[in-house]
Structure formats: C-alpha cells, structure tokens
Structure 1
Amino acid sequence: MDGGVGTRSRAAALLLVCAVVAVALNQRPAVVAVAPVLGDLRADTGLSSALGGLLTTLPVLCFGAFAPVAPRLARRIGLELAVAVSLLLLAAGIALRLFPPVALLYAGSLLAGAAIALANVLMPAYVKREVSRPGAVMGVYSASLNIGAAVGAAATVPLATAFGWDWRVALGSWLCLALAALALWLPVAGTGHARRAARGDVPGGGSWVLLRQPLARQVTAFIGLQSVQFYSVAAWLPTLLADSGVPVSRGGLLLGLANLVGAAGALLAPAQAGRMRTQRPLVLAVGLAYLVGLGGLLLAPGTATTVWVCAFGLAQGSGFALALTLIVLRSPTPLTAARLGGVAQCLGYLLAAAGPLVLGWLHDLTGGWAWPVGLLLVLLGPMTWAGWGAARDAVVRTEEEPALSPG
C-alpha cells in the first residue's frame, strides 16, 4: 500500500505513531474521569442519582449516535483534518465543564462524546491508509485507549487532591492532554502521504448499504456484543465484588487492574491478527478468556478474584482491539473502513449503552448477580459466532468491487 509507514523516514514514522498514541490517549479520560468525582459533583449541583448517572451514559450514547457522521466528514474535508476537528471539539467539550451552569456540564459531555465518536471511527481508517501492515500500530492504538481509560479513572482524584482543585478543575485538567494531542497531530499527520481523502476516494452509496452483506453484519455484531460485555462489567464490577464480601476500595483497584491487563491484550492481539490470514483462533481465545473471567465471577467471586478479573481484563482488551482490527482488515480501502467503522460502532455502542441498564434491572429483579452474569455468559455464544464469521479471509464489497475478495 502506498503511503505506508515503510515509505517514511524512521523519525517521521515514529512521530506518526506518537501522534496516533496521543489521539488514542484522549478518547477515554473525558468520559471515565466523571465517575471518581461524581459524589462531589452531585453534592455541589444537587443532581439526582439518575441525572448524575446520565453524565457517564451520555458519552457512550454519543459514541453510537455520532459514529456515522465520521465517514461523511472525512469524505468532505479529509481524514487528517477530520481528526483535528475531533480534537478541537473534545477540547471545547472539556472546557465547557469548567463553567457553572449545569446545562453546560451536559453540553460539554455531549460535545466530548461526539468528538470521541468521530475519532473512534477515523483513527482505524487513518492507520489503514498510512500503514502497509496495520496490525502492530492498531495494537499500540488499542493499548493506548486502555491506558487512557486507566489513567483517567485513577489519576483524576489524586491530581485534584494534590493541587487543591475542585471537581470542575479536576475534569477540566484533561483539556491539557487534548491540546497537547492537537499540537502533535497537526504537524505530523499525513507527512508521508500527499493524497488527501476526497469524494473520489469514497465508494458510492451510503454506509448503511454495507449491512446488506453478512460480513459487515458479523463485524458489527462482534464489536457490539463484546462492547456489551465491557461496559456492563465496568459499570457493576465493584458493586458485584462488594456484595461478595470484597472491600469497596479493593473493587476499584481490581477494575483498574482489569484495564491494565486489557492494555496488554490490546497491544498483542492486533499485531498477531495482522500476521494471520484468518483471525478465528484469536476469536476463540477471546471467548475462552471471557468464559474463565465471567465463570469465575459467577461461581466464586470472592475466591481467586484477581484471577477472574485479570481473565476478564485480558478478554475485553484483546476483544475490543481485535474488533477494531477486523474493521480494518475486512475493508478494501481506508474510507470503506471509515464507513464500516461508522456503522459498526453506531450500532455497537448503542447496544453497549443498554448493557448496564439491563444488568441493573436483572439485579433488582432477582436480588443477586447470578442472572446478570449468566446473561453475559449466554451472550458469549452469539458474540463468538459473529466473530467467527467476521474473522474469515474476505473483505466487504463496494460498488467498485462486485465480489468478495481475499483479505
């Protein structure tokens, strides 16, 4: 593929990877930083539990709702500029949270969620275009997503305590990271690739037309069902462990540990996927890791808890990274990857947003965690089935490519 990292100087290639990492590090802190300060936030604003919870759910809904906008934006102004726009919107959303009216708190969360939705779709397409063998770079990108989430959750309160910040400044402190990423992205992105995305780069037809093909539906189902696993457990794991006798403080640390183990899985899975003609063994490995983690949390949550949490962390990190990599590998062109990513992430994140609600409802209905965790175990079946189909050696058709061609 022309314009890959291999055609750049070593320094330019390193700077490009650094820019990709900088963008990835920004795609979770603005969302996960809310939960640690939610108590102070509610005490200061008087928000109810439901309205406070909406601040953490709203960005995930935006991930789905705004994902289809990304390929249209990339087609109009180009991938590089579209990513820059997403960083500007993210910075604006974070900045809005610094101002007193509660309405601006929600507006900032909405804007930040929309910005992250754009970057979620655009970055895999950009990597596909700029890197001839995208597996390793997708691994670094996916691992950076996990690291950003872990740092955002773990560092927000300690930073606020160390510097005497209130919750608004604590949330606003992540503005510095967004501006730093933008400063790095602008001079680096596309330096080895003269061609910019234009209308001619995008196959005709809408993104949703792709769902007529089984392969596109399987990619969409895999990313959606594994996202349900992650967001459901991330929302309820500390509570589940606390109900099993694990101290609340340790539950939070274990959730952080899951993210760190997930970063390792996210780094390794895409690199391995890029070397394989079919990624089906990786799909089975992800399913097995989920089975061990969820099975342990169902049968013995208070015993060998660290093992179950690490297994789940490995599954969610490698599973999400594999899902993003499958979008790249199953697409014949970079902006087809943007189209497929927009559709898959739209439906996937909207489905994922329902996961915590359904698990909470089941818990209230049954008074325990057996049925909620059991439901997640049952969903491993269709998730693995979808992944098995999505991992086959093929690419989605476009109007210019009337038949499935080898990946």
Structure 2
Amino acid sequence: MSATADTGPSTRSVVFGLAAVLLVAACLRPAITAIGPLLEDIGADTGLGNTALGVLGAVPLLCFAAVSPWIHRPAIRFGTQRMVLVAMLVLTAGILLRSVPGALWLWGGTIAIGVGIGIGNVLLPAVVKRDHPTRISTVTGVYSSVTTGAAGLGSGLAVPFVALTGNWRGALALWAVVSLVAAAVWAVRGRVLPAPLPAAPDTTPGVSMWRSATAWQVTAFMGLQSTTFYLLVTWLPSIETGLGVDRAAAGWHLSVYQVVGIVAGLGATVLMGRRSDQSLLTAVAGSALVVAMFGLLWAPHLVLLWVLVAGMSSGATFIIAMSLFGLRTRTVAQTAQLSGMAQCLGYLLAACGPVVAGAIFDLTGTWTTVLLLVAVCAAAQAVVGAFAGRDRYTHDQP
C-alpha cells in the first residue's frame, strides 16, 4: 500500500485539487455574462427582438432548473469527478456550437452551455462539503468569488473581444479555451487525488428535503438572488444606455458590477466566519440592492455609485446562498440534494427575470418598471434571507 493511501493526499495534491475547483468555478458564468453587452449585435444579426433576446438569456437558467434535481444520482453512480469533467466538455462544445452561424446552433449551443454549467453549479458545493467540511464558508467564498470575477471579465471583455475577432460569434467562442483548459486540469485532478471513500448511506431521520421549511427558505433566497442577478446581467447595459451612458462604458460598468462582488463576497465570507447564524447579514445585503435600484431611478447621474452598491449586494448574497447549501445540511448527500432543489426552483424563477424585463420594455419603452421589479425582488430576498440564515438544519425535527 502506498504512503498516500496510508496518510491521505499530500498538501501539494490538495492544493492542486483546490486549484482545479477554482478553475472550474471560473467557467460557470462568462459564457452567460458575455451575452449582455452584445445583445444589440446579436439582435441586429439574427433579427431577434427584445423579448426573444430575453428568452435567449433565460435558456441557460431553464437548463439549470432542468438539470439540478437529478444530477446527484449520476454523480453517485459515476462519481463526482467524472461528472464535473463531463460538465466542462459539454460546456466547451456548447460555446463552440453557439458561435456557428444559424439559429439552430445559436439555441442548441445555448442549451448545451446551460446543461454544462448546471452540472457544475450543483456538484461544486458537494465537493466543498466533502473535501473541506470544516471550512465550508471560506472555501465557498473563495470559489464563488472566482466565479463572480470571471463573470465580470465575461461582461467587460465582450466588446473588446468583438474588436479582436471582428464579430460577436468569435468573441463568444473565445471562452471555449478556458473551459477546455478546465476540463484538462480536472482530468489530471482525478489522477492526482485518490478517489474518496464511498459515502455512508444517509440515514438521517426527518422530513424529506421537499418538505423541509428550511430547505424552502434557502431555495427562495437563492431564487430571488439569481433573479435579480441575471436580470441585471442581461439588461443592465441596455438600461444604462437608456440613461445616456456610452455603450462601451456600460459594458465595463456591468463588469464592475460583478467584479466588486468579489470584494463584497470575500467580506461576507469573513463576516460569516464560523458563525452559525447569518440572518442579519443576509437581510442587510439584500436591502442594499433596493437602495441601488431607487438610486438609479432618482439620481441616474450617479450611475456608477449605484452599480457599485448593486454589485456589493449581489456579490455578498451569492456567497451566502452558495454557503447555505452546506451550512444548512448535515451530510454530503443532503448538500447535493438541497443544492439540486434550490437551483432547480431558484433558476426556474430566475429564468423569468430576463424575459419579463424584455417584455416590459417592449410594452412600455422605458426601464422604470424593470428597476422597480428588481427592487421588489431584492426586498423579498432580504426578508426571506433573514429566515434562511437562521441556525438550523433542513432535517431537524420541527
């Protein structure tokens, strides 16, 4: 028997394993966030109107909702390692297919992107719960911050990539390089780290996940957080151009919105620490987005300030939502189940955001109602977050 089998994985292999997780995390948003600044180009090239473009932005979220409830089963059968590798390969194929001329490839590639990212969304929290059970908030904060930062780069580099490649298709296709590298590194990770021991059967007594009040509170919090995030990621550049902001500047503002979330997310990680109750933090973080939306309505000349406030809110609440999957469950199996439930229903709700916003603008010709919609969702998020953040587990007896 090898020394590794006796003593467990070495520090070097553990660090490499964490780096592989972070690289996968970096692939979970840019393929989506790069779309927002290019909607005008895509619409002009394909003839899609605002409502249809909103549907295009919602398709990945619908895929998240479709994939999330069942992905823990093949993960148990084939292994999390193998399923994450499949996710990265499907994502790479989707990015490339989406860039092929033709409506079939645009929509088909977008679906593949949603499926690949959806698998990664569900399984990474379970990987963290399994490999870092005593540092769930810290590791989740780090990988979620990487996800947020990469999302910001996806938005900020969208227009420069168009200048580099000559068209929006080439600009979107460049992100396949990152996911392909992630797939290669993840494949090596499977050889560097020994396979984990089979998990013990989950015999925790209590109600099922779908009958747990705590699980529904976490699901509602995650869903409202995702709704506001993806609505803004899809339409914030258009909202800003409607306020008179230059198109390129609006694209970078969307990048700032997401990148500032890194700092806020790391701050939320520190504030959570090893605390068992996150109620106050979730309520305050959600309320900040309400302030930002009314700021855009009442003082649009301070647009960058409100983008910063909105980014801080979204970054902090995203970290909290991801952390709650592990913090509100007792076992790895429960974490995967709660992650699947919350992301299924949460992203189904979030998918409505871009579509409804596009339809509202088509009907009214103004973004005022859309900003009010975001404010209402943020207020509800703050309220439900106060419940989801309480110190309790999904399978505790009532």
- Asked if these proteins are the same fold (TM beyond 0.5), I'd say yes
**What is aligned with 2:210?**
211
**What is aligned with 2:163?**
161
- Structure 1 distance, partners of 2:261, 2:24, is 19
8 Å CA contact retained: 1:330, 1:394 = yes
**What is aligned with 1:25?**
26
* SS state at 2:28 partner: coil
Counterpart AA for 2:140? M
Q: CA shift at 1:341, angstroms?
A: 0.7
- Structure 1 distance, partners of 2:130, 2:180, is 25
The alignment status of 1:76 with 2:77, answered yes or no, reads: yes
Q: CA shift at 1:275, angstroms?
A: 1.7
Moved more, 114-123 or 91-100: 91-100
- Structure 2, unaligned runs of 5 or more: 1-6
**What is aligned with 2:236?**
237
Structure 1 pair 144–189 and aligned structure 2 pair: CA distance change class (3 A) = farther
Q: CA shift at 1:166, angstroms?
A: 4.2
Post-superposition CA distance 1:97-126 (Å, at most 9, x none) = 354443122211111101101100100111
8 Å CA contact retained: 1:219, 1:390 = yes
Counterpart AA for 1:169? G
Of 138, 155, 174 in structure 2, the residue corresponding to residue 136 of structure 1 is 138
- Structure 2 distance, partners of 1:334, 1:190, is 22
**What is aligned with 1:320?**
318
Q: CA shift at 1:226, angstroms?
A: 1.5
**What is aligned with 1:3?**
none
**What is aligned with 2:10?**
9
Q: CA shift at 1:364, angstroms?
A: 5.2
Post-superposition CA distance 1:144-185 (Å, at most 9, x none) = 1111111222224423533x4544333222221111111111
- Structure 2 distance, partners of 1:109, 1:259, is 21
1:234-313 → structure 2 map (5 Å cutoff): 234-302=233-301, 304-313=302-311
**What is aligned with 1:175?**
176
More relative contact order, 1 or 2 (CA 8 Å, 6+ apart): 2
8 Å CA contact retained: 2:287, 2:378 = no
Moved more, 361-370 or 183-192: 361-370
- Structure 2 distance, partners of 1:383, 1:53, is 22
Of 328, 353, 373 in structure 2, the residue corresponding to residue 330 of structure 1 is 328
Counterpart AA for 2:55? L
**What is aligned with 1:57?**
58
Structure 1 pair 135–107 and aligned structure 2 pair: CA distance change class (3 A) = same
- Structure 2 distance, partners of 1:297, 1:154, is 21
Counterpart AA for 1:330? R
Post-superposition CA distance 1:171-201 (Å, at most 9, x none) = 2222211111111112225855643556x54
8 Å CA contact retained: 1:24, 1:142 = yes
Moved more, 285-294 or 242-251: 242-251
Moved more, 100-109 or 187-196: 187-196
Root mean square deviation, CA, Å? 2.8
* SS state at 2:300 partner: coil
Structure 1 pair 36–255 and aligned structure 2 pair: CA distance change class (3 A) = closer
* SS state at 1:373 partner: helix
Post-superposition CA distance 1:78-137 (Å, at most 9, x none) = 211111111121122123235444312221111110110110010011111100312111
The alignment status of 1:108 with 2:106, answered yes or no, reads: no
- Structure 2 distance, partners of 1:365, 1:323, is 33
Structure 1 pair 313–35 and aligned structure 2 pair: CA distance change class (3 A) = closer
- Structure 1 distance, partners of 2:286, 2:338, is 23
- Structure 2 distance, partners of 1:193, 1:103, is 41
**What is aligned with 1:221?**
220
* SS state at 1:69 partner: coil
User: TM-score w.r.t. structure 2 length?
Assistant: 0.88
8 Å CA contact retained: 1:74, 1:197 = no
**What is aligned with 2:88?**
87
**What is aligned with 1:357?**
355
8 Å CA contact retained: 1:75, 1:197 = no
- Structure 1, unaligned runs of 5 or more: 1-5
- Structure 2 distance, partners of 1:44, 1:373, is 28
- Structure 2 distance, partners of 1:330, 1:377, is 27
User: TM-score w.r.t. structure 1 length?
Assistant: 0.86
Identity %: 37
- Structure 2 distance, partners of 1:308, 1:384, is 18
Counterpart AA for 1:151? L
- Structure 1 distance, partners of 2:191, 2:89, is 18
